[in-house]
Amino acid sequence: MVNLKWKGKKDSKEILSKKFTATPFHILDNYQPKDFDLKSEERWQNLLCCGENRAIINSLLDTLENKISLIYIDPPFATGGDFNLKIQIGEDGKYIDDIAYKDKWKEGLDSYLTFLYERLVTMKRLLAHNGSIYVHLDWHISHYVKLILDEIFGIENFRNEIIWAYPAASVKTRHFFIRSYDTILFYSKSNDYVFNNDPNIYMEYSNRVKNALKKDEQGTFYYRGGSHNGKKLSRKVYVVQEGIFPRDVWNDIPYIRANTSEYQGFSTQKPERLLKRIILASTNEKDIVADFFCGSGTTLAVAEKLGRRWVGSDINKYAIHISRKRILNISSSNDILNWKKKYNKTSHSFKILSLEKEIEPQLISKEFLRKNAQIETVHTIQESPELNIEIYQNDNSVIIELIHYNNPYLNLVSEKIRDKITSFSDWIDYWAIDYNFNNHIFNNMWISFRTPKKRELTLTSKPFLYDKPGKYNLSIKLIDIFGIETQKSYKIII
């Protein structure tokens, strides 16, 4: 078999034989529905992991080796570009652009291939014997990664090169043919793999076929022509599925536009219906689905709606925040099996993990400040944001009102940014209350947050009733529009 060679490549056996210490995860946030029961959930909580994914994958091996049914990844494509994140401000449609991630590699293609190869080798260990992996790429790099996947998973386990063809954006080039598709490479871990003939993965008939379909009391049919002894014949042919089993060219799924209901402001966001086809085809209910470049959380949201367990990770803390809000707001999103209806179900329990006890505060990126700062040199910000609340207590009932939020970096940003802020609440994207914080795990017991389509923010909580008298540690967690997190605790007596 042909193997791809590059500078710095290590043998897969060397990577796998290297002893690793599974770093324990730390729980940063915990989300449990009111009726959560660990027994009924089979002691499983979905996982959203913040950090470098190679270390996260290694630490997951301790509990999930050979247990994940599907891995879908949408890694960087080695484009050499920057990809933006739209940060919305307040309720009036104002926004600013920040960089979501950089797809630049100082040591060129060699460093990119090493980066992806070492992760793919370890991901294979997480896959169940009947599991599959889908790697989403484009023309920049797919031909290299195909050879890498042949080497890791075996060319005999290559199942499909899927072409996701979508309408091209308004590209003005006339120097080459317009590029308007991505490539998804589909491999299984073995020849014994899950692949379902599920009606919900079918592609629609072409318009010509749809126009020819008719219905009667027996179902949907079309007329098949023919002739016999020189006479034209016509007979009804009934169809079981109103669609065709998918080919390897998917041209029935549009890319995400800003006016679509699932839009999250993430420039490389993938559509839910793309993941729907992949997850339904390659998993069964309660299987574990993983995405180690989860970005805006599409894979996690679709897995949640389809009754699969899920694991997601991203190195960008703001991507984790977007994914968190997307899962929390899932009841208001489209039902993945009936797109014209709302999902109308709350999410299952999940927790946000990190390999670090505390994540370093995510300050405004240097790239953003270079474009938007009012001063040329920006020093490290030493002060923490100030958070002020009012606690209204009546016997065992407590109401919290958010009074003010003050940023120490307010004067750093340019006047054009500051002019977009008309109230202290415009800075705030999310705030939550833990009414009985134990100084370790923050349980989000009451939450208010903004989404791209729902910009209102509640500044006063609903009344919370304590069950019994005592001393309690009430804690507030606030995340601003730049993803900077502030937490403050208060002692109360009931």
What are the sequence ranges of the domains in the chain? 12-202+248-354, 207-238, 366-493
pLDDT (0 to 100) of residue 97: 66
**Rounded Cα–Cα distance for residues 390 and 434 (Å):** 15
Tell me, what's the pLDDT at 378? 45
Any alpha helices (H) in 127-229, and if so which ranges? 142-153, 207-212
Tell me the mean pLDDT in the region 49-56. 93
Range of 20-34, 97-111, 255-269, 476-490 with top mean pLDDT: 476-490
> Is pLDDT at 187 greater than 90 in this prediction?
yes
Per-residue pLDDT for 82 more than 70? no
Dist CA 186 CA 135 (whole Å): 7
What spatial distance separates the first Cα and last Cα of the chain, rounded to whole Å? 71
pLDDT, residue 216, reads 85
Percent of the chain with pLDDT over 70: 85
What value does the CA radius of gyration of the chain take, rounded to a whole number of Å?
25
Does residue 40 register a pLDDT over 60? Answer: no
Q: What is residue 172's predicted lDDT score, i.e. its pLDDT?
A: 74
The span from the CA of 397 to the CA of 391, in Å, is 10
Q: How many CB atoms lie within 10 A of CB 440?
A: 8
Q: Tell me the CATH number for domain 12-202+248-354.
A: 3.40.50.150
Mean pLDDT over 394-408 rounds to 91
Output the six-digit token pair for 348: 């299952």
Where is mean pLDDT largest: 11-15, 25-29, 366-370?
25-29
Q: Comparing 12-202+248-354 with 366-493, is the CATH topology the same?
A: no
Partner residues linked to 133 by β-bridges? 71, 187
Q: What integer is the mean pLDDT of 456-463? A: 96
Q: What is the pLDDT of residue 19?
A: 61
- As a whole number of angstroms, the distance between CA 253 and CA 197 comes to 19
Nearest to 430 by CA among 293, 276, 284, 323: 323
pLDDT at residue 122, as a whole number: 94
Specify the range with the lowest mean pLDDT, choosing from 246-250, 336-340, 370-374. Answer: 370-374
Question: How many Cα atoms sit within 13 Å of 135 on the Cβ side?
Answer: 27
3-state class of 401 per DSSP? strand
22 versus 217: the higher-pLDDT residue is: 217
Residue with tokens 């996947």: 149
Residues in the chain: 494
CATH fit for domain 366-493, picks 1.20.120.1460, 1.10.3720.10, 2.60.40.10, 1.20.120.550 = 2.60.40.10
Q: Is the dihedral of CA 237, 242, 247, 253 positive or negative?
A: positive
Please state the rounded mean pLDDT for residues 362-390: 59
Is pLDDT of 314 > 90? yes
Lowest-confidence segment of 140-154, 378-392, 393-407 by average pLDDT = 378-392
Q: CA-CA distance, 10 to 416, in Å (whole number)?
A: 49
Q: Decide if pLDDT at 429 tops 50.
A: yes
pLDDT band at 215, cuts 50/70/90? confident
Of the candidates 45, 43, 48, 117, the one whose C-alpha atom is nearest the C-alpha of residue 78 is 117
Q: Taking the C-alpha atoms of 114, 355, 300 and 274 in order, what is their torsion angle to the nearest 10 degrees?
A: -10
- The H-or-E segment that residue 322 falls in is helix 317-328
For position 352, what pLDDT does the model report? 95
| pLDDT band for position 432 (cuts 50, 70, 90) | very high
Identify the pLDDT of residue 10.
82
Range among 98-112, 306-320, 410-424 rated most confident: 306-320
Per DSSP (E only), the strands in 166-272 are 181-188, 214-216, 219-228, 231-238, 249-250
Q: Is 241 helix (H, G, I), strand (E, B) or coil?
A: coil
The secondary structure element, H or E, covering residue 252 is: none
What are the contacts of 388-394 at 24+ separation with CB within 8 A?
A: 389/476, 389/488, 389/490, 391/474, 391/490, 391/492, 393/492, 393/494
Whether pLDDT at 450 is above 90? yes
Average the pLDDT over 153-159 and give the result.
97
Is the pLDDT assigned to residue 103 strictly greater than 70?
no
Q: What's the CA gap between 117 and 103, in Å, rounded?
A: 16
Q: Which of 44-58, 268-282, 351-365 has the lowest mean pLDDT?
A: 351-365
**What is the residue whose two structure tokens read 């690793």?**
20
- Asked whether the beta carbons of 7 and 110 are under 8 A apart, the reply is yes
Confidence at residue 231, expressed as pLDDT on a 0 to 100 scale: 64
125 in Cβ contact with 186 (< 8 Å): no
126-134 average pLDDT score: 98
| Six token digits for residue 117 | 């190869």
- State the pLDDT at residue 461: 96
Q: Which comes out higher in pLDDT, residue 274 or 90?
A: 274
More confident site: 203 or 93: 203
Residue-averaged pLDDT of the chain:
86
**Is residue 375 over pLDDT 50?**
no
| Tokens standing for residue 12 | 């897969």
pLDDT range class, residue 8, cuts 50, 70, 90: confident
- Per-residue b/e over 90-107, b at no fewer than 16 CB within 10 Å? beeebbbebbbbebebee
pLDDT band at 359 (very low <50, low <70, confident <90, very high): low
Name the least confident of 80-94, 110-124, 387-401. 80-94
